[in-house]
Amino acid sequence: MKTAFATLFAALCTLPLMAGAAEHHVVIDGMKFTPQVLQVKKGDTIVWENRDMFVHNVTAAGVKSGDLQPGTTWRWAVPAKMSFDYLCTLHPVMKGRVEVK
């Protein structure tokens, strides 16, 4: 039993974590999201960073960052192959899109 467990443990340790997963960054500055359209894959992580002088948020169906104070970030792992549009509800002219391939 110990040998089987040790073999399984060794095999799992050699697998890459979230094979192919990537981290993408969206900068919030000048009252806009950059890039405005972001292409990602299921399992990737998106980091929104508020470099603006105002509080902003990232909001879509099932996606809610809460208020992001200047200088803060919010990380979100893409759970499914679902493309969506998002906006800042505090400043509705600020819009972005995540396209999940």
- Distance between CA atoms of residues 70 and 83, nearest Å: 27
Residue 4 counted as domain residue: no
Express each pLDDT in 14-54 by its tens digit: 334 445 799 999 999 999 999 999 999 999 999 999 999 99
| 80-99 tens-digit pLDDT | 998 999 999 999 999 999 99
Any idea what the CATH number is for the domain that residue 46 is in? Answer: 2.60.40.420
Beta bridge pairs of residue 84: 98
Q: Which domain holds residue 39?
A: 20-100
Answer whether residue 5 is part of any domain: no
Classify the C-alpha dihedral 66-72-77-82 as positive or negative: positive
pLDDT of residue 2: 52
Considering the entire predicted model, what is its pTM? 0.80
pLDDT value of residue 20: 77
Instruction: Specify the number of domains making up the chain.
Output: 1
